[in-house]
A and B are shown apart, each in its own frame.
Chain A
Amino acid sequence: MKQETIIPPEGVPVQFNVAGIGARLGAQLIDVVLTFLLILAIVSGFAFAGLGGQWLSGFAALTFFFLRVPYYILAELMWNGATLGKRMLGLRVVSSNGRSLGVYGVVARNLMKEAEVFLPMALIFTISAEDTVSGQISGAWCLMALAVPVFNRRNQRLGDMIAGTYVIHRPEAVLLPDAAATAVEVAEGAFAFQTHQLEHYGAFELQTLEGILRKLKDASKSHRKAQEMEMLKIVEAIRKKIGYSDPVRHEDHEEFLAAFYAAQRRHLESRQLFGDKRADKFHKEKSDETAS
């Protein structure tokens, strides 16, 4: 998934996942269906009231025009840059300069939508074989409008470029319990690690271990058996790598891993404070390379 960084005025960069073409097309379709249903409801309301004929079809065309454009603009202004379709699919429009999404941006991208999205949609139905020149021009226009978002980094359509906006996935925040907080109290006393034993691994291995510990905690009884086998392998691998000679009892495996995680994290974080960032277990070779 493409990622983009926005720098808000606070100066702390924030990362967003750029919305894919599929998700945006889906949101657009939902919006089209919703506006169509709304207009259908209004028009059929008038039809039941006994109005009809030429007047009604004119009225339908008018509501279509005067509801559609304002709908997108007002929805994005009122609901934090998301139309109903975007809301349902968890998308949002953001301004690429890090400031708040302005009126100009919303209006510009939705006006261009008329030319970029709705015109091609209408043209697909109306292109006829009789006038070839205008048919070709229309076809070329449709292709161009489709090609622009595919071939740029942020999947921006032309309207987005003019407006200085792009569409992102709304981030979801779930706070997981700290794997080290419980481990410290329970287990760090039981297993003692020497500093030289903690010099082997880097942040990547640490965070992989963090993931495994989380999985162990959430695991149900039925999966326990398979996981004990996996744990055994991991414990043996770690013991071999760091040269931990004391035997670890079978039932202590999880505690051993938790204690090692806590000790390793304490060590790596304190190294990091001194400017020694260790990305993974190859950190030694890397620092030797830069030194020589």
Chain B
Amino acid sequence: MDLSGPPLIRSVRFRQEREADWKRLDELVTKTERTGVHSLSWAEAQSLAQLYQKASNSLSVAREISLDRGLLTYLEALVARAYLAVYAPQETLGGLFARFFTQGAPRAMRACWPHIQLGILCMFLGAALGYGLYFQDTAWYNTFMPPRLAGGRGPGASTEYLRNVIYDEHGWEGLGSFASFLFSHNTRIAIFVFGLGAFAALPAILLTAYNGTILGAFLALHVDRGLGWDVGGWLSIHGVTEISAICIAAGGGIRLGQAVLFPGQYTRRDALWIAGRDAVKLAIVAAIMLVAAAILEGFGRQLIQDMTARYVVGWGMGLLWLAWFVLGGRQRHTRL
């Protein structure tokens, strides 16, 4: 032992030497928490990073040499707060949107192409089923179709009534009907189909197929009355976009379900995280398409009464979407 009076304990000295730095870090972190990293000056931002590293170094030493609980809890909390301030999300919004549209979305679409195809297949099989069953027995129609969605169109309705609905010039309410279309059945289905995918994909597949049967039965009803071509136009103008959106949402859901069912070499949690990177982009694409479909349904369908024009607009939109997915975000291969 030292004879020249009691020397300070090592951990006390440790603390006294560094306390000023911690206080300074505390101030900077408090400022960042209140007003964001962007409000720091260049020098402040630099010292925030340096002081954070020093403090986390101190913490790791203090855990070894100090038994001062007051100090340990303080440092733990300080380093945790500084970590949150230093590793805060730092993105500019403009770059975010541009990157999504030019690269992220089309690449995700191509990466998940098999899953989307599966979604389309479910929809198609469902539609075929609904179509076939209707011609077997028209009573099936009411089994599939929710009454709210049918709006009086069923096997009991007259052909004249069906034709009127297709070429209806009165029911236009602009924004109001746009909104109601957006929140209609299909948006809900798309959200469900995507979300349910995380629970092992089967619910997503079933729901997509069920939605297909509704479509099939609806088509069959009109074909039965000789209105096949007309209802095709009526549906095409927004349906090409909208039904593709549901299939894409289903593709995203199936991608998530695949991660849960077949995680491969990863844990399920990690597999879900990896799958999510593409699936979420698909969900956003589907959302954008649903908004576009609602615009087409709310405005376009009422403004364009000519059947051929409806086909042209509907499938033209479809081609544009396809072009985005197929052509967007490709990198030119640079040969050295």
- Please list the residues of chain A having a beta carbon within 8 angstroms of any beta carbon in chain B: 6, 8, 10, 12, 14-16, 53-55, 57-59, 61-62, 65, 74, 76-81, 92, 94-95, 98-104, 106-108, 111-112, 114-116, 119, 131, 134, 141, 144, 158, 161-164, 170-181, 184-185, 188-189, 203, 206-207, 210-211, 214, 262, 265-266, 268-270, 272-273
Map CB proximity to A onto B267-291 as digits: 1 under 8 Å, 0 otherwise: 0010011011101100110000000
- Please list the residues of chain B having a beta carbon within 8 angstroms of any beta carbon in chain A: 5-6, 8-12, 15-16, 19, 22-23, 26, 33, 36, 52-53, 56-57, 59-60, 64-71, 74, 76-81, 83-85, 87-91, 93, 96, 146, 173-180, 182-183, 188, 191-192, 194-196, 198-199, 256, 269, 272-273, 275-277, 279-280, 283-284
Is A179's CB under 8 angstroms from B256's CB? no
Inter-chain contacts of B279 with A (CB < 8 A): 162
Contact of A16 among B57, B80, B174, B188 (CB under 8 A): B80
Inter-chain contacts of A92 with B (CB < 8 A): 84
Inter-chain contacts of A15 with B (CB < 8 A): 76, 80
Contact of A178 among B15, B57, B192, B272 (CB under 8 A): B15
Chain A contact residues, majority secondary structure: helix
Is A55's CB under 8 angstroms from B176's CB? yes
Is A184's CB under 8 angstroms from B177's CB? no
Q: Select the residue from A92, A98, A266 with max chain B CB neighbours within 10 A.
A: A266
Beyond known contacts A8-B83, A119-B191, A175-B26: 16 more, CB 8 A cutoff: A12-B59, A15-B76, A58-B174, A58-B177, A58-B178, A59-B175, A61-B179, A65-B183, A78-B36, A171-B81, A175-B22, A176-B71, A206-B67, A211-B69, A265-B11, A268-B67
Q: How far is the CA of A74 from the CA of B93 in the complex (A)?
A: 9
Is B74's CB under 8 angstroms from A111's CB? no
Q: How far is the CA of A15 from the CA of B76 in the complex (A)?
A: 7
Is B70's CB under 8 angstroms from A107's CB? no
Is B89's CB under 8 angstroms from A14's CB? no
Contact of A269 among B10, B174, B182 (CB under 8 A): B10
Q: A81-B88, A111-B284, A175-B70 are in contact. Are A161 and B273 (CB under 8 A)?
A: yes
Is B70's CB under 8 angstroms from A210's CB? yes
Question: Could you show 11 A-B contacts with beta carbons less than 8 Å apart?
Answer: A8-B56, A10-B52, A55-B176, A61-B180, A62-B182, A65-B183, A98-B87, A103-B91, A115-B195, A162-B276, A210-B69
Contact of A111 among B91, B146, B283 (CB under 8 A): B283
Inter-chain contacts of B9 with A (CB < 8 A): 180, 184, 262, 265-266, 269
Q: How far is the CA of A95 from the CA of B83 in the complex (A)?
A: 11
Q: How far is the CA of A74 from the CA of B69 in the complex (A)?
A: 39
Q: A62-B182, A116-B195, A269-B9 are in contact. Are A104 and B277 (CB under 8 A)?
A: yes
Inter-chain contacts of B8 with A (CB < 8 A): 181, 184
Inter-chain contacts of A141 with B (CB < 8 A): 192, 195-196
Q: How far is the CA of A177 from the CA of B74 in the complex (A)?
A: 11
Is A269's CB under 8 angstroms from B67's CB? yes
Q: How far is the CA of A12 from the CA of B176 in the complex (A)?
A: 56
Q: A170-B81, A268-B67 are in contact. Are A14 and B76 (CB under 8 A)?
A: yes
Give chain A nearest CB distance to B326 CB in angstroms.
Answer: 24
